């Protein structure tokens, strides 16, 4: 009886250790996701012609991990500048296409990643979201 009890106890220790390893691997596999809101909203004009067109964009950047969040927050002024320049280059004709906002979002993400790769050596931002994009 004592031998069986000792055997059962001995078998439970490796199972407990494997469960802890699995939990640790799960924590490493899913880093903390954070969304950085660029506040205040980006506001400016775009297009050419006698009548000015305006935009207002509420932008969020998705990053993974607290280090990436800190680095992106540190470079926020540079990111904002890059996005303002991108938005001001747009034309009314270019933004009237059905998929224009999605193309603009993809180009904005690409430019933000390029700036961060230049500054930090890696893109850091996984996605860029328009919480609100008003063109007038």
Average confidence (pLDDT) per 10 residues, the chain, 136 residues: 55 53 57 94 89 93 96 97 95 88 96 97 96 92
Same domain, 38 and 64: yes
Same domain, 4 and 43: no
Helix (H) or strand (E) holding 11: helix 2-29
Give the range of the structural domain holding residue 1, as residue numbers without chain letter: 1-30
Number of folded domains in the chain?
2
Per-residue pLDDT at 37: 97
Per-residue pLDDT at 54: 94
Per-residue pLDDT at 28: 61
Is there a cis peptide before residue 123, judged by omega within 30 degrees of 0?
no
- Name the packing angle between helices 76-88 and 66-74 (round to 10°): 60
Total-model pTM: 0.76
């Amino acid at each position: 009886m004592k031998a069986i009890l000792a055997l059962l106890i001995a078998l439970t220790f490796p199972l407990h250790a494997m469960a802890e390893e699995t939990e640790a691997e799960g924590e490493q596999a899913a880093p903390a996701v954070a969304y950085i809101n660029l506040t205040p909203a980006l506001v400016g004009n775009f297009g050419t012609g006698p009548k000015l067109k305006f935009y207002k964009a509420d932008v969020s950047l998705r990053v993974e991990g607290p280090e990436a969040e800190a680095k992106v927050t540190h470079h926020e002024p540079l990111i904002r500048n890059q996005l303002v320049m991108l938005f001001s280059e747009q034309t009314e004709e270019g933004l009237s296409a059905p998929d224009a906002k999605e193309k603009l979002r993809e180009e904005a993400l690409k430019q933000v990643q390029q700036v961060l790769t230049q500054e930090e050596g890696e893109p850091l931002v996984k996605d860029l979201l328009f919480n609100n994009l008003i063109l007038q």
